[in-house]
Amino acid sequence: MTAGYLFFSGGACALLLLAAAKVSINHYQLAAGRWLILVLLGVICYLLLPTLPALSGTVAMLVHMPVILVPAAFWLFTHLLCREEESFPHWGWLPISLSIIFSVMANHAPISVSANAQEIFFNLSQFLRLALIGLGVLTLLGQFQSDLVEERRRLRAILLIVVGAYMFIVISAESLFAYRPVPNGVPTLHALLASLLSLAACLWLLALAPSALGESLSQVPVESPEEEAPPPEPVPSLDEQQQAQLVKLQEHMENGGYRHTGLTIRELAEQLDTREHLLRTLINRHLGYRNFNEYLNQFRIDEASARLADPEQAHLPVLTIALDIGYRSLSPFNAAFKRRHNLTPTEYRREKLPA
């Protein structure tokens, strides 16, 4: 291994350890924080592997396992970061499990397998690892415009552009050079890229935006029967212009502004003749919503609940009500309704209007 690779990879590992320590201290109690730590440790192990003596058996698998888990941990982290109101899809564990199994069979098979079989397992594992990263990237892209937490929007963009692209490049390069000589300078170039990205991440986490990750992640409420809960943080006071804008917003929504199908925060800002970033701040910091769709659902589900419990509207199909209040289809309406009432719209109507 060249001196250049050792120098740059060593610097990258030191910076990543610093970032992992920062996340561990402040966010280890959150599931998203733990998955992010696993991503960081996996990248560290990946950079260290070429510098270690030849390993075999259980030791080799244990050292390699954090690397194998990086794509899955990345997807799980992005899901918890961006879709905090939704459970991780059950089907997602299938590609994650297959990715781990194929990677183990390709590199650390507990039984003897032929070279052809190893190549097949390797190619399958690489495909699944790319797929998992792709799912993480899609998660970052999903509802990006609806996100009202400005720091989280920036974090999404950074993860999307930097981390997602880096992982795609690394796994694609692995597949390209798996069965052919690696050109001189490529490992050093990779270590240099990793060290620069690590430096940028540490500067951002520790200096430029030290509270960004904390503001981005949904905090777990701490319950203590022996101690009084700390008082809630004061809501920033509104100046006259903001107060007028808030009144205008509330009147607009109470008059049915939320019923517009596919309403985006940009369109709402245009309807209210205000700037989009000011509207984001108003809904997030003064009304307490972290996602624009969550804000819309508050009004939509209120109306739907009233209409489903109204005997005079018992003849209306659930789909008609969903379309009337702004949903494009029944599926997102059902999901939002069940999150509020823990019942489907049909079950709710049956409970409120017994035969």
For the residues of 296-335, what is the DSSP string, one character each?
HHHHHHHHHHHHHT-GGGTTS-HHHHHHHTT-SSHHHHHH
Residue 234's pLDDT band (cuts 50, 70, 90): very low
Residue 291 has pLDDT above 70, yes or no: yes
Q: What's the mean pLDDT in 115-123? A: 86
Q: What's the mean pLDDT in 277-300? A: 90
Task: Report the 10 Å Cβ neighbour count for 246.
Answer: 15
Residue 96 has pLDDT above 70, yes or no: yes
Residue 233's pLDDT band (cuts 50, 70, 90): very low
Residues 6+ apart with CB under 8 A from 71: 99, 128, 129, 130, 132, 133, 136, 167, 171
pLDDT of amino acid 237: 65
This prediction's pTM = 0.79
Give the integer Cα–Cα distance in Å for 281 and 290: 10
Residue 46 has pLDDT above 50, yes or no: yes
Eight-class DSSP state of 283:
I
Give the integer Cα–Cα distance in Å for 145 and 160: 14
pLDDT of amino acid 323: 94
Give the integer Cα–Cα distance in Å for 157 and 271: 27
- Angstrom CA distances, 229 to 25, 66, 207, 285, 286, stand at 22, 38, 30, 21, 21
Token pair 């240099």 is found at: 192
Residue 318 has pLDDT above 90, yes or no: yes
Give the integer Cα–Cα distance in Å for 266 and 292: 10
pLDDT of amino acid 93: 95
Q: Which of 102-106, 204-208, 314-318 has the lowest mean pLDDT?
A: 204-208
Give the integer Cα–Cα distance in Å for 76 and 252: 37
Q: What's the mean pLDDT in 220-245? A: 56
pLDDT of amino acid 227: 41
Q: Under a CB-based contact definition with an 8 Å cutoff, are residues 166 and 107 in contact? A: no
pLDDT of amino acid 221: 45
Q: In terms of pLDDT, which residue wins out, 234 or 114?
A: 114
pLDDT of amino acid 84: 73
Nearest in space to 318 (alpha carbons), one of 173, 309, 339, 16 = 309
Residues 6+ apart with CB under 8 A from 154: 209, 212
Nearest in space to 214 (alpha carbons), one of 3, 15, 28, 344 = 28
Q: In terms of pLDDT, which residue wins out, 330 or 19?
A: 330
Output the CATH code of domain 240-352.
1.10.10.60
Residue 91's pLDDT band (cuts 50, 70, 90): very high
Q: In terms of pLDDT, which residue wins out, 202 or 229?
A: 202
Q: What's the mean pLDDT in 290-306? A: 93
Q: Under a CB-based contact definition with an 8 Å cutoff, are residues 85 and 296 in contact? A: no
pLDDT of amino acid 330: 92
Residue 310's pLDDT band (cuts 50, 70, 90): very high
pLDDT of amino acid 83: 81
Give the integer Cα–Cα distance in Å for 63 and 11: 20
Residue 253's pLDDT band (cuts 50, 70, 90): very high
pLDDT of amino acid 81: 84
Residue 166 has pLDDT above 60, yes or no: yes
Residues 6+ apart with CB under 8 A from 351: 343
Residue 111 has pLDDT above 50, yes or no: yes
- The structural domains of the chain, with segments of one domain joined by +, span 3-216, 240-352
Residue 284 has pLDDT above 50, yes or no: yes
Start-to-end CA distance of the chain, whole Å, equals 77
Q: What's the mean pLDDT in 10-31? A: 86
Mean predicted lDDT score pLDDT of the chain: 83
pLDDT of amino acid 230: 43
Residue 126's pLDDT band (cuts 50, 70, 90): confident
Nearest in space to 307 (alpha carbons), one of 293, 319, 296, 292 = 319
Residue 100 has pLDDT above 90, yes or no: yes
- Which range among 45-49, 222-226, 333-337 has the greatest average pLDDT? 333-337
pLDDT of amino acid 58: 79
**Each residue of 174-211: pLDDT tens digit?**
777 666 676 777 777 777 777 777 777 777 767 666 66
Tokens matching residue 179: 């069965």
Eight-class DSSP state of 50:
G
